[in-house]
Chain A
Amino acid sequence: MNTLTSSLSRLAINTDLVRPVLVNFLREEIRKVGYQRAVVGLSGGIDSAVALALAVEALGAQNVRALIMPYRASSAASEADARAVAEQFGVEARKIEITPMVEPLLAANPDMSNVRRGNVMARMRMIVLYDQSEEFKALVVGTSNKTELLLGYGTLHGDMASALNPIGDLYKAQLRQLARALDIPRQIIDKPPTADLWVGQTDEAELGVTYELADQILFMLVDERCREEDVIAAGFDAAVVRALNTRIRNNQFKRSLPIIAKISGRTIGTDFLYMRDWGR
């Protein structure tokens, strides 16, 4: 299985190169729109820990606010990990319980599925984050990684919402590398990733594939522009490769702004083409 080993090694990054690029990205893209500060939702997981560490390096600890937003079913260990990260990087951590905000909606819909409940929680955290960003005069820093974004493993207008995202072009395996370089606590890097929406939930159980496997397949399909059959020929399970590829396609909508019905000769999104950094 030489190919498999080598595809894992091709995912390896030089963190000494990545780090200054991401720090510079945060600093420039935040300051050029007239802001000095950032807010980050800290879950206790690796992604938000890395985003926080980068934001601190870019803006200084006093300019970063960490929001810890547990629901009553959230694990106490997650909160403890989030606090440990905030403390390590010298950042003010604000705990804002979402339970009293979420409960009325859940109570009105006792038959809500886990997916619906999870979406409500993710979107409530988004509301809190954006409210805090206004109060702190800060931008919301995103914490979705490339693996999640490609697979659509996130809530639209929920955890996927942000002003800018420093880690969205890094696969989970690459984030683990960067996390080590940033001295994120070991237990956060090593614990199984979870959205922490219900007890015992893990990303990998929900996705039906390990990150290690998903990352390698996605890296070949996306970064290396391989065809499905090339990835299968490299030794990966055909059903998994096809399922992941379908998932990428089916979740394109989550990575796009709403489409607009074209009526005029100049339509936003179609032929009204400007960068967001227009005039910045």
Chain B
Amino acid sequence: MTLTTHEHTQALPMIQRGSMQSFKIALAQISPRLGDIEFNLKKHLDWIERAAREQADLVVFPELSLSGYFLRDLVPQVAIQAHASDPVFAQLLDASRAIDIALGFACEDERHNFTIAAAYLSQGELIHLHHKVYLPTYRLFDDARFFGAGTMLRAFDTRFGRMGFLICEDAWHLSSGVVLWQDGADILLHIASNPGYGVRADLTTLANTDDLHLINRAYAEMLTVWVVHVNRVGVEDGVTFFGGSSVTAPDGKVIANAPLLDEAIVHATLERSALRHARQTLPLVRDEKLDLVIAELQRIQNGIRNP
């Protein structure tokens, strides 16, 4: 791991600015065009270049950033393979030589299963691929009709520390974050297409903006991790995605905030010392009783309950 900081280097290629100790993350709060991969790929490459120019080490895009959200029958037309042989994916892999990239797309595997995926790319390689586990299929959501569900929650190592992906609904299941945390993730990449609604008079922000702040803060503070929430903006058939992306530090404080409704790139610097400080103040990682949790869940799964 190179820890040198290059202040004045050109953006391309292979720069190592950040380190495990401190690195700069860019939240790419974009509005993808529904079903237009060519347009969206270009937008990704532009924003990746911009983030690199602005000295970021990692740029994070929202859920289905490459395709848009309400895909329905478009899924097979816009799905890509997470492999260098895919012409779209190859360009993103190439772009990851300048800066690490996390993004969302409709993914097709060798057996033609379609999933909502998130990929972490670094130095021309695919570091991790996550498939959305929880597919909301209620109210305005129809994920499970058009996609298969992921079957794994795994943390992964990057040159900036150990991370885990939560795609939108994944984050609403508390256990997802806990599993990634126990698997060693110190940074949760929560990428989403959160629609905005709920405008009651007693609210100062959209109802589910409020919900998302609560979720991010709960994970951050209760797991003492960073939560990087990147939500898209734009409107699809009248449904507004609200943006408001953020980074919440391990002490629960929001250290970066993107605007509501508008496209924006927002930077945050993550200092490893903040993690240390949070965990010496609140040693929840140290004190977690994984054996007990597993034993009790096993018991519950076996149908054994105390009267």
B-binding residues in A (CB < 8 A): 9-10, 12-14, 17-18, 20-21, 24-25, 28-29, 32, 164, 272-280
| Closest residue of A by beta carbon distance from B39 | A279
A24 to B238, CA, bound (A): 10
Q: Tell whether, in the assembled complex, residue A21 and residue B237 are in contact, meaning their CB atoms are under 8 Å apart.
A: no
Q: Tell whether, in the assembled complex, residue B35 and residue A279 are in contact, meaning their CB atoms are under 8 Å apart.
A: yes
**Interface size in chain B (residues, C-beta < 8 A):** 26
Interface residues of B in 227-285 (CB under 8 A from A): 234-238, 240, 260-261
Residues of A within 8 A of B203 (CB): 14, 17
5 A-B pairs with least C-beta separation:
A12-B201, A273-B72, A28-B235, A275-B237, A17-B199
Q: Of B196, B237, B240, which one neighbours A277 at CB under 8 angstroms?
A: B237
Residues of A within 8 A of B73 (CB): 272-274
A20 to B196, CA, bound (A): 12
Q: Tell whether, in the assembled complex, residue A14 and residue B238 are in contact, meaning their CB atoms are under 8 Å apart.
A: no
Q: Tell whether, in the assembled complex, residue A14 and residue B204 are in contact, meaning their CB atoms are under 8 Å apart.
A: yes
Q: Of B31, B201, B238, which one neighbours A164 at CB under 8 angstroms?
A: B238
Q: Tell whether, in the assembled complex, residue A20 and residue B200 are in contact, meaning their CB atoms are under 8 Å apart.
A: no
Residues of A within 8 A of B236 (CB): 275, 277
A20 to B235, CA, bound (A): 13
Residues of B within 8 A of A14 (CB): 199-204
| Closest residue of A by beta carbon distance from B73 | A273
- B33 touches A (CB below 8 Å): yes
Mark B212-229 against chain A: 1 for CB-CB distance below 8 A, else 0. Answer: 000000000000000000
Residues of A within 8 A of B196 (CB): 21
Residues of A within 8 A of B237 (CB): 275-277
- B36 touches A (CB below 8 Å): yes
A17 to B244, CA, bound (A): 13
A275 to B204, CA, bound (A): 31
- B70 touches A (CB below 8 Å): yes
**Residue from B36, B196, B237, B260 with most neighbouring chain A CB atoms (10 Å):** B237
Q: Tell whether, in the assembled complex, residue B33 and residue A29 are in contact, meaning their CB atoms are under 8 Å apart.
A: no
- B28 touches A (CB below 8 Å): no
Q: Tell whether, in the assembled complex, residue A29 and residue B235 are in contact, meaning their CB atoms are under 8 Å apart.
A: yes
| Closest residue of B by beta carbon distance from A170 | B199
- B34 touches A (CB below 8 Å): yes
- B74 touches A (CB below 8 Å): yes
**Residue from B72, B201, B204, B237 with most neighbouring chain A CB atoms (10 Å):** B201
A276 to B72, CA, bound (A): 11
Q: A274-B72, A277-B237, A279-B36 are in contact. List 4 more A-B contacts (CB 8 A).
A: A13-B199, A24-B261, A273-B73, A279-B35
A29 to B238, CA, bound (A): 8
Q: Tell whether, in the assembled complex, residue A17 and residue B34 are in contact, meaning their CB atoms are under 8 Å apart.
A: no
Mark B171-203 against chain A: 1 for CB-CB distance below 8 A, else 0. Answer: 000000000000000000000000010011111
Residues of B within 8 A of A32 (CB): 33, 235
A133 to B201, CA, bound (A): 35
Residues of A within 8 A of B70 (CB): 275, 277
**Residue from B34, B199, B206 with most neighbouring chain A CB atoms (10 Å):** B199
Residues of A within 8 A of B72 (CB): 273-275
Q: How far is the CB of B43 from chain A (nearest CB, A)?
A: 14
- B205 touches A (CB below 8 Å): yes
Q: Of B31, B74, B204, B240, which one neighbours A278 at CB under 8 angstroms?
A: B74
Q: How far is the CB of A256 from chain B (nearest CB, A)?
A: 15
Residues of B within 8 A of A276 (CB): 237
**Residue from B203, B206, B236 with most neighbouring chain A CB atoms (10 Å):** B236
